[in-house]
Chains A and B, each alone.
Chain A
Amino acid sequence: MIEEIVSEEDIRAVLQPQRVDPGTFAAGVRERLSAQPEVKIASLSPALQYAAAILPAGIISQKQLAEIAGGAAPAKGSKLLAVLVYPAVCFFLLIGATLVSVFKIRGIQAQNLPDSTDGKQLVVRMKRWQNSQGWKMAALFVITVATMWYGATWLLFLGFIASFSVLIYVLRSLAKAGIGNRLVVGQSCFIGLIPLMSLGQIMAMRSQGIHFVEQSVLAAIVFAGVTILSGLMVGIMPPGHYCRGTNPGRAAFILQVIICVGLSIWSLRPVIWPVTPQQMKDYVESFDHTSRGSVNAEYWEIVAEWTVESGLHPDFAKPEQLLAAEIAKDQPNPILLATGLRLGLLSAAQASTVYNYEGNLRFLRQQVELDRPFHVSLLIFYDWVIRTAVARGDLSGPQLDKLPNVLQRMLETADTAPDATLATVLQATRLLKVVGKPVDPIQYRRQVHDLLRRFHRTGNGGFCYGPRESVGSARPTAYAIELMQIYGVPEGLDLNWVRSFLKPTWTLRPPEKYVLAVTLDRFNKLPGVAPPTWREILYYERTLLAAIVLIGLCIYATLLSPKPRYVE
């Protein structure tokens, strides 16, 4: 049986009116051609040609590469430009172009076009490029990670900035000749920036250098940069290139903006929402020491003292209830009792009703009679007993004479005593005031300053609990600043380190972040402490500045590259 089909003549007749005149059509094409100059890579300088030759596929074509390879013998120094752009090409363009080509292959496979060899050729070229440059590339990555590891992230960024600046010169020269591809350059910068900056941020946080700004800002800068780059690429990405019938670029861009804004806000929390006096007042008023006992009480005392000093007039009803409940216990917490007495929330009469006060008093009398410096633990656990006994007159005259000597001896040996800490020295200073013998700061300045210098850690800029610790903590730093209020700022101590430690960071949680906020306020009010100069800010925040410049260069490189006409 013969199937009935429409005759070819009829179809031709139907389409006849749509035919165009070949001459007119060709003339139209030639008119368009004459409007645009033809690209000639040979017109570029030898140095530029060499630099262009190391650019990966997608930015410069195979034919253009062949043109370069077949050119005249290189002049002396013409390879210098290629050497200079190498780091930026490796880290940004190569990684990016490789990933882009992988996506391209997948796109071609998805479109089921087995005859198309463009994608395969791209990967072959990429592999060839990697094979020829393999060891150099590996060395560059090792240098990159090693430089960051040793805390010279800014130096690395500076190197990349220099290299990228030269690359921009090359790209701009190529762009003038109509060579380049904005999509590939943009995608490459995008893909290269993320690992470099992520690595940079981790290393910057790890580097323990002086920073006045929280280093998570670097993440926010990167997010902003890659979002701008994405925005530039969305405009030139053909819709449905990777997904049929849809525009993945636009959807991905919106998703990326949402994610980046969210992550930026999250990483910039301490900058956007710094600790406020009201928050600290709320914390003081809602004090609950049950979770971390004594430690919580010590943190709380620092903040509570500051709220009183600052005239915030906190309501101590809840802490007073807690103290009343503490007194009624068989074994009350001595730290809490001392805190209550120091802040005036507890009277000596109330403290004397504590179970076994008499027993503690007897022990204190014995220790005072020995007339030698107190053991650290005694000073910490008997602070409340001393205060109560002095206020109530439970110590005899000779004992009251000996007690200041014991405390003063602790200050005299503050720089040499193995068990001396910032907390005990501060406590001894305060107790001397309680017993009516306030310290003469000049008399003990040298010892206290030596102690401060000994307990300062340049690992993170703070002060530590004990001499064996390698990093500083919030509480001893708060004690150190209080000591500086009394004894002055020691010479030779780099205050930028302390300021760096006290800056708000996203890793901190209450009550540490409140303690640091209080300490920073006290630190700023110390006599002789000036805010950092612009020069210091620029110097210590050089990593951030370098990152901003690098991102700016990436955006500029993307913008100056010609828009792709075809992304086949």
Chain B
Amino acid sequence: MELDELINAYRGPLIGLIAAWGAPWHEATEIAQDSFADAWLNRESCRGDWNDPEVFGRWLRGVALNRYRNWSRGRRRWFRLFTFAAEPMDPVDTSTLQEVPEHLAQLREAVDRLPQMQRQVILMHYLEDTSVKEVATLLSVPVKTVEGRLYQARRALHRMITDQTDSKTTETLP
């Protein structure tokens, strides 16, 4: 398989997966790029036929996991050294800010509050509308499992938003 094909197949779910592990989005993109480069460079070390997308997908996930751990470890060390300083916020480009509908803002918050497994599949699948099969490959679980988690996640999101709306309505009542 060509590198471009592999990037197109796994770019979205991999960034989503790394973000779900806990990396900020811009870091997740960097880690994903590093992971693709490492996985491709060392594809000969992959145990199995790397031309098989599934094998390469699992390999890529392992690479990404190690990359993420290294990043995470370095970050922890940094924070240990400078615990007196507050964690800096990512700079926000105010010129591109748009008015976000309220229900989408609620949904964004709800996605962040989802259980880890459900949040993982949501980010992986919907970031770039990647097929469930690629998501399942990266997670090393059956396709049905991913589908089940996606359904559970959407139901949970609906429940969380509904609960939030109900509580707000109750608060505003005289």
Contacts and interface: CB of A to CB of B under 8 A. Distances in A.
A33 B37 CA distance: 5
Contact of B155 (A3, A30, A62, A565): A3
Nearest to B136: A115
Nearest to A4: B158
A14 B104 contact: yes
Contact of A11 (B29, B32, B69, B107): B107
Interface string A1-15: 001111010111111
Nearest to A25: B11
B11 A15 contact: no
A179 B66 CA distance: 18
B7 to A, nearest CB: 5
Contacts of B73: 239
Interface stretch (A70-78, A117-125, A161-169, A266-274): A117-125
A240 B69 CA distance: 9
Interface string B86-104: 0000000000000000011
B117 interface: no
Contacts of B147: none
Contacts of B123: 15
Interface residues of B, number: 58
B8 A15 contact: no
A8 B151 CA distance: 10
Contacts of B157: 5-6, 11
Contacts of A442: none
Given A12-B126, A14-B107, A238-B69, A20 B47 contact: no
Contacts of B111: 11, 14-15
Interface string A223-249: 000000000000000111000000000
A121 B37 contact: no
A387 to B, nearest CB: 78
A118 B47 contact: yes
A18 interface: yes
Nearest to A119: B47
Interface string A540-562: 00000000000000000000000
A16 to B, nearest CB: 9
Interface in B25-43: 25, 29-30, 32-34, 36-42
A22 B11 contact: yes
A15 B151 CA distance: 17
Contacts of A22: 7-8, 11
B62 A566 contact: yes
A36 B37 contact: yes
Contact of B66 (A5, A20, A39, A566): A566
A61 B154 CA distance: 42
Given A8-B126, A11-B126, A61 B44 contact: yes
A6 B42 contact: no
A115 B140 contact: yes
A11 B157 CA distance: 10
A26 interface: yes
Contacts of B15: 18, 20
A6 B8 contact: no
Given A4-B155, A566-B38, 8 more contacts: A5-B155, A6-B155, A6-B161, A33-B37, A115-B140, A566-B39, A566-B63, A568-B62
| CB-based closest 9 A-B pairs | A568-B62, A32-B37, A5-B154, A63-B44, A28-B33, A6-B157, A61-B45, A118-B47, A29-B36
30 contacts: A5-B155, A5-B157, A5-B158, A8-B126, A10-B104, A12-B129, A14-B104, A14-B108, A15-B16, A15-B111, A18-B15, A25-B11, A25-B29, A25-B33, A28-B29, A28-B30, A29-B3, A29-B7, A32-B33, A39-B41, A39-B42, A39-B44, A63-B44, A63-B46, A63-B50, A64-B45, A122-B47, A238-B70, A239-B69, A568-B63
